[in-house]
Amino acid sequence: MRASADDQTALDALSARLYAAFGNANGAVPDLDGLRDVFLPGCVIAKAVDPDAQVQDLEAFIAQRRPLLTDGRLTGFTEKETAAQTWACGNIAGRCSVYEKSGMLDGVAFAKRGIKNLQFVRLAGRWWISALAWDDERPGLSIPDRP
């Protein structure tokens, strides 16, 4: 179930906006408020990097990340998709996305890889992210180069 060229372009653009929203390297200002134009109201966001996944709605997700990205604790932060596989059928779509992130957290440099699962819904002629879940590479969990 490959996405049409138009759908693929729209889904690629939504994914790019998601990744770009968090960057604060080189003086960039994170665009967390812009996530409201990317995520469907009522979406589910799950951080599954710990044994107990943290599940939030969009507003809680933004509220938790805003201070981290703007108070000086996390600096030079970048996050980018390195590979993805997308499918679409009618008004639903999904994407498995491999990504890299790096920066300085509390003065300590870090670089990690992870994998995100995005679910999309087309409403009123446009695509929205309806759900997001991710996990990060760690001992015992290797992230593939391609989904």
Q: List, for residues 42-82, the tens digit of each pLDDT value.
A: 999 999 998 888 999 999 999 999 999 999 999 999 999 99
Evaluate if residue 136 carries a pLDDT over 90: yes
Give the Cα separation of 72 and 57 in Å (integer).
25
Per the structure block, which two tokens stand in for 124?
A: 């009123």
pLDDT at position 3, please? Answer: 87
Q: Which of 133, 103, 112 is nearest to 24 (CA)?
A: 103
Amino acid at 145: D
Evaluate if residue 10 carries a pLDDT over 90: yes
Q: What is the DSSP letter of 69?
A: H
CB 120 within 8 A of CB 11: yes
The pLDDT-based confidence of 139 (bands split at 50, 70, 90) is: very high
Domains in the chain and their CATH numbers? 5-136 (3.10.450.50)
pLDDT at position 37, please? Answer: 97
Q: List, for residues 92-134, the tens digit of each pLDDT value.
A: 999 999 999 999 999 999 999 999 999 999 999 999 999 999 9
> Residue 78 contacts by C-beta under 8 Å, 6 or more apart in sequence?
23, 25, 101, 102, 103
From residue 34, alpha-carbon distances to 3, 30, 66 in Å are 25, 9, 12
pLDDT at position 129, please? Answer: 99
